[in-house]
């Protein structure tokens, strides 16, 4: 399964998942610095003329949100204005530094912004109180102006790199999933063709031979004729079921979509009485006690119940003798299916002492029928319990009618 962009973004540091957070943080620092500076003239009783550079600086910050170049030029020239009117340019210098970081983080090239901000802050520091061109303070102002622009540009470039890397990762995962789905589709088509060419052909030939045998029976062989007729009916059911499986295998492929063949609905709980009648026609004594299908029975549970009963009745014909007892009971939201029948003499002789199993360890001795029943029950959230005694074989399947999991 492919990762989503949100899952890939989770690998970034929490504070860095959205660079806009850094941009807003820079603006917040600017506003805090401006608010602090606004209180200085009032506290010191100095001229309100000092508000002019600060007001122009804040205007530049506002303009930079929409017009980055215009805004950064205004903000950068403000420290020069402050130095000209003999106002300490420290706060306007801070505003220029954080604004340089903000505009380069969003759009502008770091080199050009650095070349604009750094020298301007340097000359503003030199002009203020005549500290001189060689003053460490002036060089510090230059360095911080250039570094702020470089930092914003670096963060933006790294974010672009991460986004590109994430996009390439998503593309690679999508390509891998596409390739895997293609291979699955090819395998499904191969299975469908093999099923059609081998099993379908052999079952069709079997049906033909059964028809020939039925036609050539003597007139007094009524019992044999009825058995052959039931066998032919079963063969036809196998062919129809094989066709349904073929349609399912081809349903997600171009070949299946282009065939225009509709799918038969999957068998469900309501088909169990017909299944029992079919077994009775084949000579199996089935004693059934069925509850009415719940109105809100989950479709997957309904199909699983049918398949479990079908396989249980098939096993009773292969490995048991005597009547088969089948019951379905509904207790609240739990549907319970029980099937039991006596074992044949041969089966009873080789049977192990009575024990209860889940069905997984029965495959070597009884084929994969019980394994399939267990998997059917598990796929619908239920459980299957097999009780294997010397003289009796008992299967109990427990399913929730709403498709929930049995605890």
Share of the chain above pLDDT 90, in %: 8
Mean of the per-residue pLDDT values for the chain?
Answer: 77
Structure pTM? 0.44
How far, in Å, CA of 319 to CA of 323, rounded?
12
How far, in Å, CA of 134 to CA of 128, rounded?
13
Is the domain covering 284-400 a CATH 3.30.565.10 domain?
A: yes
How far, in Å, CA of 382 to CA of 399, rounded?
4
Answer whether residue 256 shows pLDDT above 50: no
Q: Are strands 334-342 and 355-357 parallel, antiparallel or unpaired?
A: unpaired
pLDDT band at 262 (very low <50, low <70, confident <90, very high): very low
User: What tens digit of pLDDT does each residue of 130-187 get?
Assistant: 677 777 878 888 888 889 899 888 888 888 888 888 888 888 888 888 888 888 877 8
User: What tens digit of pLDDT does each residue of 189-218 get?
Assistant: 777 777 766 676 677 677 777 777 877 778
Burial of 65 (0-12, 13-18, 19+ CB in 10 A): middle
| CB distance 324 to 316 below 8 Å | yes
How far, in Å, CA of 280 to CA of 308, rounded?
17
Answer whether residue 337 shows pLDDT above 50: yes
pLDDT band at 2 (very low <50, low <70, confident <90, very high): low
pLDDT band at 354 (very low <50, low <70, confident <90, very high): very low
How far, in Å, CA of 303 to CA of 270, rounded?
9
Phi/psi at 179 (5° precision)? -65, -40
pLDDT band at 355 (very low <50, low <70, confident <90, very high): very low
Domain locations along the chain:
1-264, 284-400
Answer whether residue 57 shows pLDDT above 60: yes
State mean pLDDT over 295-313.
87
The helix or strand, by DSSP H or E, that contains position 396, with its residue range, turns out to be strand 392-400
């Amino acid at each position: 399964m492919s990762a989503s962009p949100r899952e890939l973004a989770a690998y970034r540091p929490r504070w860095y998942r959205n660079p806009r957070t850094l941009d807003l943080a820079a603006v917040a620092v600017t506003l805090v610095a401006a608010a602090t500076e606004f209180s200085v003239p009032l506290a010191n009783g100095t001229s309100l003329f000092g508000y002019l550079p600060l007001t122009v600086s804040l205007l530049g910050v506002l303009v930079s949100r929409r017009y980055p170049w215009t805004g950064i030029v205004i903000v950068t020239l403000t420290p020069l204005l402050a130095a000209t009117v003999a106002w300490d340019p420290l706060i306007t210098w801070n505003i220029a530094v954080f604004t340089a970081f903000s505009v380069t983080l969003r759009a502008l090239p770091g080199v050009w912004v650095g070349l604009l901000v750094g020298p301007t802050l340097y000359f503003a520091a030199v002009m203020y109180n005549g500290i001189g061109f060689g003053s460490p303070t002036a060089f510090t102002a230059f360095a911080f102006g250039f570094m702020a622009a470089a930092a914003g540009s670096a963060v933006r470039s790294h974010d672009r790199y991460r986004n590109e890397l994430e996009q390439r990762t998503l593309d690679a995962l999508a390509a891998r999933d596409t390739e895997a789905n293609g291979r699955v589709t090819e395998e499904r088509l191969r299975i469908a063709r093999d099923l059609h060419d081998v099993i379908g052909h052999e079952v069709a030939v079997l049906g033909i031979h059964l028809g020939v045998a039925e036609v050539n029976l003597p007139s007094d062989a009524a019992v044999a004729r009825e058995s052959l007729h039931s066998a032919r009916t079963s063969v036809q059911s196998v062919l129809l079921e094989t066709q349904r499986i073929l349609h399912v295998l081809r349903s997600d492929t171009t070949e299946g979509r282009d065939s225009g063949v509709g799918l038969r609905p999957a068998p469900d709980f309501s088909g169990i009485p017909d299944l029992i009648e079919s077994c009775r026609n084949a000579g199996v004594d089935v004693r059934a006690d069925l509850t009415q299908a719940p109105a809100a029975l989950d479709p997957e549970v309904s199909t699983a119940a049918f398949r479990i009963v079908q396989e249980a009745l098939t096993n009773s014909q292969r490995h048991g003798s005597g009547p088969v007892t089948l019951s379905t009971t509904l207790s609240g939201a739990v549907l319970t299916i029980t099937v039991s029948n006596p074992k044949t003499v041969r089966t009873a002789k080789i049977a192990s002492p009575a024990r209860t199993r889940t069905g997984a360890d029965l495959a070597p001795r009884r084929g994969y029928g019980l394994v399939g029943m267990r998997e059917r029950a598990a796929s619908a959230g239920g459980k299957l319990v097999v009780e294997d005694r010397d003289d009796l074989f008992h299967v109990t399947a427990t399913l929730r009618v709403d498709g929930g999991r049995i605890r």
